[in-house]
C-alpha cells in the first residue's frame, strides 16, 4: 500500500513540477530553468540528507558508475518535459510521457535490465499499453 501512495504522490508532483517548470521557462528560458530546478532540488536534497541520512553515502563507491547517470538523465527529462508541454500542452505531453515510461519500464522488467528483478511477460502487458495508447488517441479526437 505504501508503494501505491508514493507512486500517487510522484504522479501528482511530476505533473505539478512539469507545469511549474514550463511556466518558469516561459520567462527565463529552458536551459536556465533546468539549472534553477536542479539547484533548488539540490538544496532540498542536501537538507533532507542532513536531517534524515543513515550515513549510507559512504558506500557510493559500491555503486555501478552507470547508475550515477541519473542526474544527467534528470537534465534531459526536465528540458524535454518543459519543451513537450510548451508545444503540446500538459495533458497530451504527460500522456505520451506516461505511455513511453510504461513501455521502457516493461522492457526493463521483462529482461531484468540494470539489476532489476525479471518480471514474467504475458499478453496483458502489451494489451494494457495498447489500451493506454488508444485512450490518448480518443482523448485527442476532439481537440
Q: Could you report the per-residue pLDDT of 110-142, keeping only the tens digit for each?
A: 999 999 999 988 889 899 999 999 998 998 887
Cell for 140?
A: 485527442
Q: CB-hemisphere CA count at 13 Å for 95?
A: 16
CB 94, CB 15: distance < 8 Å: yes
Q: Could you report the per-residue pLDDT of 45-92, keeping only the tens digit for each?
A: 999 999 999 889 999 999 999 999 999 999 999 999 999 999 999 989
- In Å, how far are 7, 117, 120 from 109, measured between CA atoms? 17, 7, 8
Amino acid at each position: 500500500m505504501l508503494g501505491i501512495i508514493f507512486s500517487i504522490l510522484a504522479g501528482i508532483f511530476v505533473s505539478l513540477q512539469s507545469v511549474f517548470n514550463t511556466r518558469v521557462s516561459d520567462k527565463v528560458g529552458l536551459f536556465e530553468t533546468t539549472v534553477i530546478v536542479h539547484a533548488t532540488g539540490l538544496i532540498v536534497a542536501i537538507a533532507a540528507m542532513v536531517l534524515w541520512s543513515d550515513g549510507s553515502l559512504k558506500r557510493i563507491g559500491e555503486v555501478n558508475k552507470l547508475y550515477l547517470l541519473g542526474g544527467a538523465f534528470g537534465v534531459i527529462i526536465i528540458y524535454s518535459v518543459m519543451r513537450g508541454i510548451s508545444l503540446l500542452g500538459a495533458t497530451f505531453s504527460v500522456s505520451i510521457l506516461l505511455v513511453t515510461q510504461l513501455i521502457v519500464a516493461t522492457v526493463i522488467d521483462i529482461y531484468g535490465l540494470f539489476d532489476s528483478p525479471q518480471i514474467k511477460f504475458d499478453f496483458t502487458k502489451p494489451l494494457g499499453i495498447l489500451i493506454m495508447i488508444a485512450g490518448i488517441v480518443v482523448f485527442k479526437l476532439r481537440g
